[in-house]
C-alpha cells in the first residue's frame, strides 16, 4: 500500500506530534513552577538568596526556549499568510 518512504514519513510525523504534545505538558509544568516562584518571592529575593548558577541556567534555558519558539511562531505566521 504505502511505500517505505511514505511509511517512514508517517512514523516521523506521528513521533513529532507525540513529542510536541509531551513538550506542551512539560512546558506547562515549567510555567507553573515559575508562577509559583513569581507569586511567592520577589525578583530581589530570588537574586539575593537564590543560587547564582541555578538562576543563570534557568535564565539560559528560558532564552533558548524563547529563541526556538520565536522561530516556530515566525514559520507559523508565514504559513498562515501563504494559506490566507
pLDDT of 17 over the 70 cut: yes
Domain containing 77: what range? 51-84
Based on the fold, state whether residues 59 and 83 are members of the same structural domain: yes
Q: 3 falls in which pLDDT band (50, 70, 90)? A: confident
Number of structural domains found in the chain: 2
Give the whole-angstrom CA distance, residue 13 versus residue 7: 10
- Mean pLDDT (whole number) for 49-61: 97
In a domain, 34, yes or no: yes
Based on the fold, state whether residues 15 and 35 are members of the same structural domain: yes
In a domain, 45, yes or no: no
Torsion over CA: 63, 68, 74, 80 (sign): negative
Amino acid at each position: 500500500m504505502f511505500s517505505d518512504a511514505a511509511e517512514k514519513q508517517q512514523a516521523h510525523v506521528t513521533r513529532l506530534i507525540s513529542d510536541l504534545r509531551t513538550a506542551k505538558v512539560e512546558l506547562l509544568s515549567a510555567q507553573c513552577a515559575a508562577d509559583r516562584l513569581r507569586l511567592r518571592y520577589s525578583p530581589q529575593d530570588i537574586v539575593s538568596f537564590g543560587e547564582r548558577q541555578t538562576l543563570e541556567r534557568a535564565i539560559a534555558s528560558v532564552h533558548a526556549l524563547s529563541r526556538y519558539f520565536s522561530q516556530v511562531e515566525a514559520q507559523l505566521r508565514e504559513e498562515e499568510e501563504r494559506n490566507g
